[in-house]
Structure formats: structure tokens, C-alpha cells
């Protein structure tokens, strides 16, 4: 089990969150990555193999980060997604597995003919 981070900093201009722990581990997690890997049931599904591939979030931003007890944060995105609770363990896992998870996400988008870009309006 991972302890609480020593710092969680929202970098609005960079559309990212920086998370640091006492052991010196530090990650920069882009908003798009956090959104498509949301721990919410809407994204993860209700069981194994039910994960939803969320497309069109290249420009998603973060409105705010809210503490949830002493174990997690809720991230409110500007597409109004706010149901994911990011535990300290999950944030660390996202940082540690960022390269692999991102590559898998991009491959899944491609396999489904989807894109990171939002749909065009008009």
C-alpha cells in the first residue's frame, strides 16, 4: 500500500497533475491520460474486460482536484466527468505504468478507428 503523496499540484497551463511521494518518486500525469484511465465504473466497467475506450479527449482540462478523505482525490474534468476516485495507490500505478498504458490506449484507439481529437462541430 502506498502512503499519501507529499504533493499534488495541478498545472492548468500544461493540462497535467504532478504527484510526489516522500521516497522521491514523482510523476507528471497529463489530464488526457488521467481522464481516459479514470477509475470510474463509466470507464472501467463493472468487471474484467469491460473497460471503455474513451476517445476525443486530447484537449480535456482539469477544473479542480478535491480531497476524498485521507486516501484519494476526485478529479473534476472540464468535460464534466467527475465520478472517478483516484486512490494514492492508483495514482502511483498510473505513474509507474504510464508508458505501457498510454501505448495500449493508442493501439486500442487505432484498432477501433477512433481518435484522440474531439468530434468536429458544425
Class of domain 7-111: alpha beta
pLDDT at 110 over 70: yes
Using a pLDDT cut of 90, give the percent of the chain over it: 82
Helix H segments across 1-122? 31-36, 41-44, 88-96, 98-111
Helix 88-96 × helix 98-111 angle, to 10° = 70
φ/ψ of residue 72, rounded to 5: -165, 175
48-106: pLDDT as tens digits: 778 889 999 999 999 999 999 999 999 999 999 999 899 999 999 999 999 999 999 99
pTM of the model: 0.93
List the domain boundaries for the chain: 7-111
Amino acid at each position: 500500500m502506498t502512503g499519501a503523496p507529499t504533493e499534488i499540484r495541478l498545472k492548468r497551463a500544461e493540462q497535467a497533475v504532478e504527484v510526489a511521494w516522500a521516497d522521491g518518486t514523482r510523476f507528471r500525469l497529463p489530464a488526457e491520460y488521467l481522464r481516459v484511465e479514470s477509475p470510474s465504473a463509466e470507464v472501467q466497467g463493472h468487471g474484467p474486460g469491460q473497460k471503455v475506450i474513451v476517445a476525443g479527449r486530447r484537449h480535456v482540462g482539469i477544473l479542480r482536484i478535491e480531497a476524498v478523505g485521507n486516501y484519494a482525490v476526485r478529479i473534476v474534468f472540464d468535460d464534466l466527468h467527475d465520478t472517478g476516485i483516484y486512490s494514492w495507490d492508483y495514482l502511483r500505478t498510473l505513474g509507474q505504468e504510464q508508458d505501457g498504458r498510454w501505448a495500449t490506449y493508442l493501439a486500442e484507439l487505432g484498432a477501433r478507428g477512433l481518435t484522440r481529437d474531439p468530434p468536429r462541430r458544425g
